[in-house]
Structure 1
Amino acid sequence: MANKAIFKSYLGKLLPGTDTKNHEGAAAYALTAREALAQYAVTGTFNNTFYADGADQLDAVRKLALEVEPGFLGKVAIHAAEKGHMKDMPVALLAILSGLESDAFARAFPRVVKSGKMLRGFVQVMRSGATGRKSLGTRPKKMVQAWLERASTEQILRAMVGNDPSLGDVIKMVHPKPASEERRALYAWAIGKPHDHAALPDLVKALEAFRRDQTNPVPDVPFQMLTSLPLKREHWVEIARKGGWQMLRQNLNTLARNGVFAVEGFAEELAARLADPEQVRRAKVFPYQLMMAWKMVDPKVPAMVRDALQDAMQTAIGNVPAVPGHVVLCPDVSGSMSSPATGFRKGATSTVRCIDVAGLMTAALLERNPKARVLPFENHVVNVDLNRRDSVTTKADKLAAIGGGGTNCSAPLKKLADEKAKVDLVVFISDNQSWMDARPNGQASGMMVEWARIKARNPAAKLVCLDIQPYATSQAATPAEVLNIGGFSDAVFSAISTFASGKSGAESWVKTIEDTVL
């Protein structure tokens, strides 16, 4: 008989040893440069998180960016903008890319900078010196000029909402060469210089006319350009009718304060727009944004409009996968998860906490997988009674109300292993900064030890570790049956679905980026 002291099973020496430490100082697995950059790209906001500040994140991103080839860096920037729906991270990656000898910058720029807000963000990053330079430079300047020349009048007007820098500052910096008298007049008007009024675009003429006399029709411009005027209820009704879906979602309380819902039939009209599945999909709204809009809406907003937000939520989570077999959902409800999901930022900290996101994503997955088991964890697994018939928002609120304690990522897996449970897929939603189950560096993490016990009974089982804040470490190594992904857009649901179905492997998160056409 073989000597059991020497020939240990998969549970022992064959498990991969940890090779770094997380932000709690506990042993962890370092992600590769590509994996880490991919996670920062869809979770990083350069604000202070529970364990790291914005400067730490930027420093980490700069270092990682120089470890990958420029082509991959450009693809990451595009993925962060188009799939992750991020704002700061894509333009920061572009700024870093602009300093490298590669045509990837010129190829990625139009895919990333599709709005005036992104354009101003790119210029702000470049001027800050945070990525190594304080001026635009020749190539970036030409790309900004090209954006201005391609932009429609409507895009130029939307870009004028916001400062530091303002669009006028950008125009003064890059000196675009107008291709027509209309565009020449528009640039001069935007920076407050003398211009030929007759040459202005019709939309700008309409705006100027309305500013002089509010009996004129309300122009179809960003409402922020009108709020300094003495607007009446009928003006606000027109503003709402002409506003985009995101504008409506973000300004329901403002509309209520200005009496629009007193207009007969308007609440029904607005509710129909908010609940329209096609408009929800085009808006690329995060599910958690809808949840918070629903929670923060004023009671003066009619119930049918509030209900429409919940209908929109169902659309926003429409691609949540239904996974066959035994599914286990493990939301992290420890103390660190009470921090804002997009980090602390003075004067603009989001009210959405990591635990809110974890609760929502768990509830969304449970909606499509009603037989799934939910094991919230902190120091240990926390018992929670969820009514499967409750709405997604109600279940998310119940999970988010737990909160507190240390982080022990191996706790749910230990419970499953001790029970000798049948397992096909386990999904963790966490910041992955486990420390209560810490083991000596170089040994397998507590999470991998317990996962090996589960795998011994469930050879086909798969593990997904969804990271909702960027720290570049994981408690799970990345063998074929473990997927480390990041973010909280609906893109992660697609990644989980393809991984669970066997259509992609552990490297799929990075491969999705690599497959981007640059």
Structure 2
Amino acid sequence: MVNTAIFKSYFGKLLPQTDTVNHASAAAYALTPREALAQYAVTGTFNDTFYANAGEQLDAVVKLASEVEPEFLAKLAIYAAEQGHMKDMPVTLLAMLSGLESDAFTRAFPRVVKSGKMLRGFVQIMRSGTAGRKSLGTRPKKMVQAWLDRRTVPQFLQAMVGNDPSLPDVIRMVHPKPKDAERAALYAWAIGKPYDLAALPAEVKAFEAFKRDTSRALPAVPFQMLTSLKLTKEQWAEVALSGSWQMVRQNLNTFARNGVFEVPGMAEKLAAKLADPQTVRKARVFPYQLLVAWHMAGQTVPGEVADALQDAMETAISSVPVFKGNVVVCPDVSGSMGSPVTGYRKGATSEVRCIDVAALVAASFLRRNPRARVLPFENRVVDVKLNGRDSVMTNAAKLAAIGGGGTNCSAPLQRLVKEKAKVDLVVFVSDNQSWIDDRGEGQATGMMAEWARIKRRNPAAKLVCLDIQPYVQTPAKAADVLNIGGFSDAVYDAIANFAAGKSGAGEWLRQIEAIDL
């Protein structure tokens, strides 16, 4: 008779042994420097998280940046900005790149710094000393001057919104050389110096005239420049209609307070704008941003406007792939997932929790793949009844309402093993800090042991660990496991290619490295 104990021991040796511990002090697998830096790049916001503080994140990023070549650092900064839609991390990587002997900095700068917010962030980081000095330096100063020179008047005015530093502060730092009389007048106006009124751009002339007489036509400037003036509800309605999709989504309650929805037809017009598929796609909205707007839409926001956000959600999740075969999605609903997804920051902590994002991803998968199974977990699998035909908002709310308990990433896999389930793709959405199933340092994790059992029955199955926090340990690592991080649509392309067998476990890094500088 076969000695099963021997074979069990031998099988265990074939599994990869852990080589680090996670933030919960449980055995785990370390990501490579490139993988780890990419994880920080698409999830890090330099705020305190459940397991780590902002300073630890920054120290880790600085260390990891020194372990990769400048070209990869540049590509990662571009990826984080263009695909990850991040703000602080791309300019941080760019600041670190500025001190290296490479032209990758000058090639990456225009693609990373696309807005005034990004420019101010870059200057702030450079002056903080994070990049190794507290001044801009020659190359960065030239890039900032060129950025200012290339801005159109509307872009320049949009960049005037914001502080610490403000755009006028930046202008005073870099002393841009005006290319013509109009730009000279614009710079002087921005920093409060005497200027030639006749040479000012038409938009600025109209703004100055409006400040003197608010009965005039609204000037074409960012609405934040008008809020200190006493606008009528009709003027506020005009602001809402002319605003970008994101601006409207962010200011629904502001519009309600200022009487916009009291103007006949405005509710219908704004609802149509919010629900327009083409506009939603162009806005590059995160689904969780829509979830927040939907939750925060007060009773003063008309029902048709709130419903339009649900319509927009259907467009926003259209990039979630439709998978063949048996799909299982496992959202982490443990206690640590109750922390803000972008971390804690005094006076600016997001109301969106990690569990909200995990629930939204799971609900999005279910909406696009109605036969998928959803197995939320903490210490164990939490049974919840979902209907694939229900709206994403409804199912996400059901999942996000669970919450609590420890983290046991093995639990859903144990359930599948027990059921002898047929599995083609399993997707975890978690902070990956599993500890209840800890098997001790040097052994395979509990998650990998359970995955190996699933693979015996389903040899072609694939496992995806989608991490939404800036941690760089994983409970699963193998050729059939994709570790990926972030909130944007870009993760779905990588998951789809991996699930279809078009790429391997390195698909995420491959996408980053494929960026053409």
Q: TM-score, normalised by structure 2?
A: 0.98
Counterpart CA distance in 2 for 1:279 and 1:216 is 30
Give the residue type in structure 2 aligned to 1:224: Q
Residues 1:372 and 2:372 are matched in the alignment? yes
Give the residue type in structure 2 aligned to 1:488: F
Which aligned pairs between 1:469-484 and structure 2 lie closer than 5 A? 469-477=469-477, 479-484=478-483
1:10 is displaced (CA, Å) by: 7.2
Determine the structure 1 residue equivalent to 2:413: 413
1:130 is displaced (CA, Å) by: 2.1
- Tell me how many residue pairs correspond in the alignment: 517
Determine the structure 2 residue equivalent to 1:98: 98
For structure 2, list consecutive stretches of 5 or more residues without a partner in the other structure. Answer: none
When the two chains are superposed, the root-mean-square deviation of aligned CA atoms in Å is: 1.2
Give the residue type in structure 1 aligned to 2:402: I
Deviations along 1:38-61, whole A, 9 cap, x unmatched? 111111100010000111111111
Determine the structure 1 residue equivalent to 2:303: 303
Determine the structure 1 residue equivalent to 2:19: 19
Give the residue type in structure 2 aligned to 1:513: I
Give the residue type in structure 2 aligned to 1:486: G
Determine the structure 2 residue equivalent to 1:237: 237
SS in 2 for 1:235: helix
Determine the structure 1 residue equivalent to 2:192: 192
Determine the structure 2 residue equivalent to 1:497: 496
1:379 is displaced (CA, Å) by: 0.5
Counterpart CA distance in 2 for 1:326 and 1:7 is 30
Deviations along 1:40-92, whole A, 9 cap, x unmatched? 11111000100001111111111111111000000000000000000000000
Deviations along 1:225-253, whole A, 9 cap, x unmatched? 01111111111011112111111000011
Counterpart CA distance in 2 for 1:372 and 1:11 is 30
Counterpart CA distance in 2 for 1:389 and 1:314 is 12
SS in 2 for 1:234: helix
Give the residue type in structure 2 aligned to 1:507: G
Counterpart CA distance in 2 for 1:354 and 1:446 is 23
Deviations along 1:370-423, whole A, 9 cap, x unmatched? 111111110111111112332101100100000000000011111111221111
Determine the structure 2 residue equivalent to 1:437: 437
Determine the structure 2 residue equivalent to 1:508: 507
Counterpart CA distance in 2 for 1:248 and 1:133 is 39
- Contact in 2 for aligned 1:11/1:453 (Cα 8 Å): no
Q: TM-score, normalised by structure 1?
A: 0.98
1:515 is displaced (CA, Å) by: 0.2
Which aligned pairs between 1:123-272 and structure 2 lie closer than 5 A? 123-272=123-272
Determine the structure 1 residue equivalent to 2:453: 453
Counterpart CA distance in 2 for 1:359 and 1:89 is 25
1:5 is displaced (CA, Å) by: 5.6
1:488 is displaced (CA, Å) by: 1.2
Counterpart CA distance in 1 for 2:91 and 2:506 is 25
Counterpart CA distance in 2 for 1:394 and 1:133 is 50
- Contact in 1 for aligned 2:106/2:143 (Cα 8 Å): yes
Counterpart CA distance in 1 for 2:297 and 2:125 is 33
- Contact in 1 for aligned 2:429/2:466 (Cα 8 Å): yes
Determine the structure 1 residue equivalent to 2:292: 292
Give the residue type in structure 2 aligned to 1:330: C
- Contact in 2 for aligned 1:220/1:239 (Cα 8 Å): no
- Contact in 2 for aligned 1:10/1:452 (Cα 8 Å): no
Counterpart CA distance in 2 for 1:16 and 1:148 is 52
Counterpart CA distance in 2 for 1:8 and 1:430 is 29
1:8 is displaced (CA, Å) by: 5.1
Counterpart CA distance in 2 for 1:73 and 1:283 is 27
In percent, how many aligned pairs have the same letter?
73
Counterpart CA distance in 1 for 2:56 and 2:11 is 36
Residues 1:467 and 2:463 are matched in the alignment? no
1:6 is displaced (CA, Å) by: 5.3
1:127 is displaced (CA, Å) by: 0.7
SS in 2 for 1:492: helix
For structure 1, list consecutive stretches of 5 or more residues without a partner in the other structure. Answer: none
Deviations along 1:188-210, whole A, 9 cap, x unmatched? 00000001011000000011011
Counterpart CA distance in 2 for 1:486 and 1:465 is 8
1:298 is displaced (CA, Å) by: 1.5
- Contact in 2 for aligned 1:11/1:452 (Cα 8 Å): no
Give the residue type in structure 1 aligned to 2:498: F
Which aligned pairs between 1:316-335 and structure 2 lie closer than 5 A? 316-335=316-335
Q: Which moved more, 1:237-246 or 1:283-292?
A: 237-246
SS in 2 for 1:12: helix
- Contact in 1 for aligned 2:369/2:388 (Cα 8 Å): no
SS in 1 for 2:422: coil
SS in 2 for 1:506: coil
Counterpart CA distance in 1 for 2:69 and 2:9 is 39
Determine the structure 2 residue equivalent to 1:422: 422
- Contact in 2 for aligned 1:379/1:408 (Cα 8 Å): yes
1:2 is displaced (CA, Å) by: 8.0
Deviations along 1:303-324, whole A, 9 cap, x unmatched? 1111111111111111101111
Deviations along 1:301-349, whole A, 9 cap, x unmatched? 1111111111111111111011111111100000000000000000000
Structure 1 stretches of 4+ with a deviation exceeding 4 A read: 1-10
Counterpart CA distance in 1 for 2:432 and 2:484 is 11
1:501 is displaced (CA, Å) by: 1.1
SS in 2 for 1:427: strand
